[in-house]
A and B are shown apart, each in its own frame.
Chain A
Amino acid sequence: MSNIGSYEERVKNFNWKISEDELSYNAGDVINIGWYCSDRICQMGKADKLAMIWEGLGGKEKKYTFDDVRIKSNVIAQFLRDLGIKNEDRVCLFMDKIPELYFGCLGILKIGAIAQPLFSAFGDESLHVRLENAETNTIITQKKHVSKVRKILEKMPYLKHIVVVDDDGRKPLRERELAFNMDEAEDVNQFEIFPTKAESPSILHYTSGTTGQPKGVKHVHYSLISQYLTTKWVLDLQENDIYWCTADPGWVTGTSYGIIGPWSLGITQCVLDTGFGADSWYRFIEKNKISMWYSAPTAIRSLMKAGDEVVEKYDLSSLRHLASVGEPLNAEAVIWSEKVFGLPFYDTYWQTETGSMMICNFPGMKVKPGSMGKTVPGVTGGIVDPETFEEITEPNKGGLIAFRPGWPAMMRSYWNNEETYQSKFKNGWYIPGDKSTIDGDGYFWFMGRDDDIINTGGHLVSPFEVESALLEHESIAESAVVAKPDMVNMEVVKAFVTLNAGFKPTEELELEIMNFIRKRLSPLAMPQEIEYLEKLPKTRSGKIMRRLLRAQEWGEEIGDTSTLEDD
């Protein structure tokens, strides 16, 4: 029996109080995600239950009970409080998927500070713009990443502490750096948790926009209410499940459903801190008898590419439920997973700003391969006209996805960017920026983005950010960046550039530019292809017409070119 039971009944009788009651929360109470994910689970008698099975390089394994999670997060919380960090200070987590990242997130929340997780593959420029926007007080990192912080340190007077969790003393630490070893620190059994309330800020995730710098999406502790319930009803996590969320907590899935969801339910979860490999992933599932697996279409398509014979080498019979997030899951991937695992991947749709799942395929519901599913109970969603923002009720007619605001995990603002935040609301709807249709049965079908944002491997990349970084390369005069179709990642970054005088359009230069962006921004943002042009298509007013370049890549009609600059 699934946790949700009948989807229709849940929708009919829904009230967020269901979640509040299960979490023993009443309006006005203290609500602290750090406490809910550790201390409360221990108080429920699960202190000795395994919370995390972690595997790193070379098969190195560590196991932690919920009591370990409680104590380790207390240790980090105490350390940060002793450093003078106060509630609402921003503390960045810039680490690989090591245990300190997970316990650090809870520790930051326990002192009422704001956790700012950032993907550890970010280059120094990507790191800088995000730390600067948040005026981050402290960054917790590893020695392998500290050089990126050092490169930009002079530009960040607000950054007071750089905490290195794996310093081995072989190289001297520098200005503002200090070593902290979680395992060697003395246990902190009792910790006075900061009394955060429902609207106290909790996590600040950064997401890319079409224009301007990345936006800091501010979430609050009350987000727990929808993260808890969707984990229970959509991912269907049950007491004896062994859960694996493959997402990195540098992105929202990794915190909402890689930390908060499973641990607020007291579920054992696995973390694999190594790169992708079909054999290593299947071996990890077999070894840990993983029963619920939450992954991403890019990974699923990469597994498809690796072939069915690899699957057959492993005993994956422990799997009982699979789900996917990050980008639309194509029908072929759903059909393939049914064939090789005997289970379909259930697609889920949501985004950094929504904080929790919004449109999903639920256990017990008929999966229509390629569909996003139906709205989560408690969420009112629909399709609206892109011009009038009036709801479209006619089945199968395309429009913008829209949600009525009010679910608990909704972002509360963009950090220092109220104007952009307000622009996301139209005619009483929140508009996430994706297009879809709804069929006669109420299933949503994804059509694409409504803007130029590139969704590569489930991660959003801003063309503006890549174009700006490209212009910092000495050879480039002008740049335009668009999405290019890709079998595995759905989209990849493609750049069109014109060169400054004295530079020749060679293969060597293309590689140099690719590596320049990879190091400065991230591997995700690195153009997988660079095309040299004599000039970029522009409007008469001088605006680059990305639309034309994108249409060229996707084999689409170019459309109206009346505003195109004359030769």
Chain B
Amino acid sequence: MENLKEVILQYVINEYLEDDSVEVTFETPLLTKGIVDSFSMVSLKRFLESKYEIQIPDDRATPEAFDSVSKIAELVDEFID
């Protein structure tokens, strides 16, 4: 799980973070903090599905489920299992 979180965190930092002075942790709220928006969430979901060879149903890919690296990792972990 820790490794999963690290991979997601790095992807978020590399792809979505505009302000490099902002610190992003596993618990940072990504959507409410404006780091990822609802449109960009689609590309993040696509990354996760491709990387872990899973399918996340649209009704599970909610703003709440994507609002932190930890929450995303929990969701991904569920489908990897």
Contact = CB atoms under 8 A, between A and B. Distances in A.
A306 B59 CA distance: 10
26 contacts: A57-B32, A57-B33, A57-B34, A144-B22, A170-B21, A274-B33, A275-B37, A275-B38, A276-B32, A276-B37, A277-B29, A277-B31, A277-B67, A279-B64, A280-B32, A306-B62, A456-B39, A457-B38, A457-B39, A511-B43, A514-B42, A514-B46, A515-B15, A515-B43, A523-B40, A526-B42
B64 A277 contact: yes
Nearest to A272: B32
Contacts of B50: 507-508, 511
Contact of A526 (B21, B22, B39): B39
A277 B63 contact: yes
Contact of B18 (A147, A277, A508): A147
B19 A144 contact: yes
Contact of A518 (B22, B29, B38, B40): B40
B79 interface: no
Contacts of A274: 32-34
A121 B32 CA distance: 15
Interface string B35-55: 011111011001101100000
A274 B36 CA distance: 11
A524 interface: yes
A427 B15 CA distance: 50
Contacts of A393: none
A96 interface: yes
Contacts of B31: 275-277
Nearest to A529: B42
A523 B37 contact: yes
A118 to B, nearest CB: 15
Interface string A480-508: 00000000110000000000000000011
Contacts of B63: 275-278, 302, 306
A404 interface: no
Contacts of B43: 511, 514-515, 518, 526
B43 to A, nearest CB: 5
Tell me what chain B mostly uses at the interface: helix, strand, loop, or mixed.
Answer: loop
B30 to A, nearest CB: 8
Given A170-B21, A302-B38, A526-B40, A511 B47 contact: yes
Contacts of A488: 38
Interface string A136-148: 0000000111010
Contacts of B37: 121, 275-276, 523
Contact of B39 (A280, A511, A523): A523
B22 to A, nearest CB: 8
Tell me what chain A mostly uses at the interface: helix, strand, loop, or mixed.
Answer: loop
Closest 10 A-B residue pairs measured CB to CB?
A: A144-B19, A523-B39, A275-B31, A523-B40, A275-B34, A507-B50, A514-B43, A277-B32, A274-B32, A144-B18
A524 B39 contact: yes
Interface in A496-551: 507-508, 510-511, 514-515, 518, 523-524, 526, 528
Interface of B: 15, 18-19, 21-22, 29, 31-34, 36-40, 42-43, 46-47, 49-50, 62-64, 67
Central interface residue in A277, A279, A305, A526, by most chain B CB within 10 Å: A277
Nearest to B40: A523
Nearest to B49: A507
Interface string A104-146: 0000000000000000010000000000000000000001110
Given A168-B21, A276-B38, A277-B64, 8 more contacts: A143-B21, A274-B33, A274-B34, A276-B32, A277-B32, A306-B62, A523-B40, A528-B39
A186 to B, nearest CB: 27
B12 to A, nearest CB: 12
Contacts of A279: 64
Contacts of A121: 37
A489 B34 CA distance: 18
A96 B34 contact: yes
Interface in A251-305: 273-280, 302, 305
A186 B19 CA distance: 28
A345 B76 CA distance: 36
Interface in A53-110: 57, 96
B5 to A, nearest CB: 20
B11 to A, nearest CB: 10
A526 B63 CA distance: 18
B50 to A, nearest CB: 5
Contacts of A145: 18
Nearest to B47: A511
Contacts of A489: 39
B62 A305 contact: yes
Nearest to B39: A523
Contacts of A277: 29, 31-32, 63-64, 67
B72 to A, nearest CB: 15
Contacts of B19: 143-144
A71 B54 CA distance: 55
A209 B47 CA distance: 31
Nearest to B50: A507
Contacts of A523: 37, 39-40
A565 B31 CA distance: 45
B34 A306 contact: no
Contacts of B42: 514, 526, 528
Nearest to A511: B46
Contacts of A508: 50
A168 B19 CA distance: 13
